Amino acid sequence: MSGILVVGEVQDGAIAPVSGELLAAARKLAGEGVGGGISLAVMGDDLSAISAADAPGADRVILISHPALKDGGTGGYDAPVLALAAIYESTSPDVILFAKTDFGAVTGPRLAFKLGAPVAQDCIDLALDSDTGRVVVTRPVFGGNALAVYGFDGDGPQVATIRPGAFDAVEGEGTGTVEQFDVDDVMGGVRTVLVETVIQESEGVRLEDADIIISGGRGLGGPEPFDQLHELANILGGAVGASRAACDAGWVDHSYQIGLTGKSVKPSLYLSIGISGASQHMAGLSGARNIVAINKDGDANIFKAARFGVVGDWEKVLPAFMATVRDLAG
């Protein structure tokens, strides 16, 4: 074993929270016998604000700075793939971990192809097989209706993307070393250039970071009820989400979508209103601590996963609930 390479992401000039979850996954593997230490690779054009203290769980932090890696390389995937391939040639990690984000879901398979390595996507757990010394992963199959365990064959590098929320981030302050990695020699192969970044403005808590999420589905009947969901989210200090059906209907933007083809979340409280609970939606809630469901269909699948449920018309239930929340909030 030659260690574990965690591919971190940058958010607002700092190491993104999802990178802490990857470090937790790496620590689990290290605890089961993967030797060689854990390295966190962070890419960008300006990484001056990043320190080892921001990466608890990492034995070393590798900073890769280059103009082509602006915004972490998300503007074009050639640059990060070339940079990571250079790190692999230098350090030969046995395991490479990405988060299943927009960046990781594309960069991970591209790097695996370049290295001639297998890749396991959307994993929710991973472990070391004591017999083979290789990694085994657990991932949803059949639209999230079942879980399957896969192992890596051969003896080359193993690449996996981990679903956000599958692991709790390592807490505390990092004590690893920090080193710079020069990729100037390989950036000549970059074919795509980031021309412009368009940021979608949003208010309140990011859906991926929210501890409380109020989510609406097809049962709301239209876009107007989402105003009430936003009001409730503001009272509770949470964020608003939606099912794919609500997004496909144009009631809210697809950036609100939670599920297998949307975002994965891990709130302490997930309040579902008018959502049936199809397996594709529930796949995005594997990290939720408490699910509360309001649905007029008592046989809705959402109630199988809900800790608390209300069978009734949301138009009658929600106003009373909101009035109670306002009273409790003072």
User: Could you tell me the CATH number of the domain that includes residue 112?
Assistant: 3.40.50.620
- Lookup result for tokens 């409730």: 232
Angle, CA of 109, 58 and 111, to the nearest 5° = 15
Under the banding of pLDDT at 50, 70 and 90, the label for residue 74 is: low
Question: Residue 104: which domain range?
Answer: 4-189
Q: How far apart are CA 117 and CA 151, in angstroms?
A: 13
Q: How many CB atoms lie within 10 A of CB 99?
A: 26
How confident is the model at residue 1, as a pLDDT? 46
Q: How far is CA 7 from the centre of its chain?
A: 13
Under the banding of pLDDT at 50, 70 and 90, the label for residue 73 is: low
Model confidence pLDDT, tens digit, residues 290-313:
999 999 999 999 999 999 999 999
Q: Please give the average per-residue pLDDT across 74-90, as a whole number.
A: 87
Q: Which residues of 293-307 are buried (b: 16+ CB within 10 A; e: fewer)?
A: bbbeeeebbbbebbe
Non-local (6+) Cβ contacts of 216 within 8 A are 225, 226, 229, 240, 241, 242, 243, 246, 251, 252, 273, 274, 275
Q: How many CB atoms lie within 10 A of CB 289?
A: 11
Phi, psi (rounded to 5 degrees) for 66: -165, 145
Amino acid (1-letter code) at residue 47: L
Residue 202 above 70 pLDDT?
no
| Pair type for strands 125-128 and 135-141 | antiparallel
CATH number of the domain bearing residue 310: 3.40.50.1220
Handedness of CA 192, 19, 110, 253 (dihedral sign): negative
Residue 140 above 90 pLDDT?
no
Under the banding of pLDDT at 50, 70 and 90, the label for residue 285 is: confident
The mean pLDDT value of the chain amounts to 90
Both 183 and 247 in one domain: the answer is no
Q: How far is CA 323 from the centre of its chain?
A: 34
- Lookup result for tokens 């030659």: 2
Both 152 and 214 in one domain: the answer is no
Residue 198 lies in a domain: no
Phi, psi (rounded to 5 degrees) for 232: -65, -40
Q: Please give the average per-residue pLDDT across 21-40, as a whole number.
A: 94
Q: Please give the average per-residue pLDDT across 58-71, as a whole number.
A: 90
Q: Please give the average per-residue pLDDT across 153-165, as a whole number.
A: 92
Q: How far apart are CA 59 and CA 208, in angstroms?
A: 27
Both 185 and 68 in one domain: the answer is yes
Residue 19 above 50 pLDDT?
yes
Give the number of residues written for the chain: 330
Residue 76 above 70 pLDDT?
no
Q: Please give the average per-residue pLDDT across 90-106, as a whole number.
A: 93
The larger pLDDT score, comparing residue 96 to residue 285, is at: 96
Residue 191 above 70 pLDDT?
yes
Residue 179 lies in a domain: yes
Non-local (6+) Cβ contacts of 100 within 8 A are 121, 122, 123, 161, 162, 163, 164, 264
Using DSSP's 3-state secondary structure scheme, residue 215 falls into strand
**Comparing C-alpha atoms, which of 280, 228, 223, 277 is closest to residue 252?**
223
The larger pLDDT score, comparing residue 200 to residue 163, is at: 163
HSE, CB side, 13 Å, CA atoms: give it for residue 262. Answer: 25
Residue 36: burial class (beta carbons within 10 Å; 0-12, 13-18, 19+)? middle
How confident is the model at residue 11, as a pLDDT? 84
Both 135 and 233 in one domain: the answer is no
Both 146 and 26 in one domain: the answer is yes
Non-local (6+) Cβ contacts of 56 within 8 A are 20, 23, 170, 171, 172, 173, 174, 175
How confident is the model at residue 262, as a pLDDT? 87
Both 64 and 185 in one domain: the answer is yes
Both 124 and 256 in one domain: the answer is no
Count of structural domains, the chain: 2
Both 67 and 177 in one domain: the answer is yes
Residue 14 above 70 pLDDT?
yes
Both 47 and 170 in one domain: the answer is yes
**Comparing C-alpha atoms, which of 137, 132, 74, 130 is closest to residue 103?**
74
Both 172 and 264 in one domain: the answer is no
